Amino acid sequence: MVERLTLVDKQKLTYEGIFVMRELYEVMDKWMEAKGYHKRELKSSEIVKPKGRNIDTVFEPWKQLSDYAKSVFKVKLSAEKVRDIVIEKEGIKHSMNQGIITFTFDAYLETDFEHRWENKPGFFFVRVLFDKYIFKPFTTNYQNHVMGDFKQFIDEIRGSLNLHRY
């Protein structure tokens, strides 16, 4: 069975203002591609209402760190009251979006995701001993790697949202 160590649990990031949804997706996708993460989209929906669109997206960027460990983020993006607006800056018109965006982040370190240590009870016992005494420095290093990537990912998103201050 996959052992999933939760490093970040339901950390929220909320932004209200002007943004470009397409650029926000591009920033996240470029960061994932540059860092070697793969994207698994779990849910994507858009509901049009009189006050604006509601957009809900859930995806999991993941990256295999070794044969034993994998880094996984879970990102829930919820945008409410999203309206299209046009802003004129220095004589040039820009089409943008305005609304409320809420991100909810989780970060995990998955170990033994290929089920190599669980074929027999003896292997499971040996795995517990290895995890506790031998793999401990490696696991700590993997945790630091996941948290470093997670902080960079959030900083990229914050930076993208703060670029559109008018």
Per-residue pLDDT tens digits for 32-48: 999 999 999 999 999 99
pTM here? 0.81
**pLDDT tens-digit map of 123-152:** 767 777 777 777 777 788 888 999 999 999
- 69 pLDDT band, cuts 50/70/90, is confident
Q: How far apart are CA 94 and CA 27, in angstroms?
A: 18
- 91 pLDDT band, cuts 50/70/90, is confident
Q: Can you give the residue ranges of every domain in the chain?
A: 3-162
Residue 115 above 90 pLDDT?
A: no
DSSP codes of every residue in 26-71: HHHHHHHHHHT-EEEEEEEEEEEETTEEEEEEEEEEEEE-SSSEEE
Residue 7 above 70 pLDDT?
A: yes
Residue 15 above 80 pLDDT?
A: yes
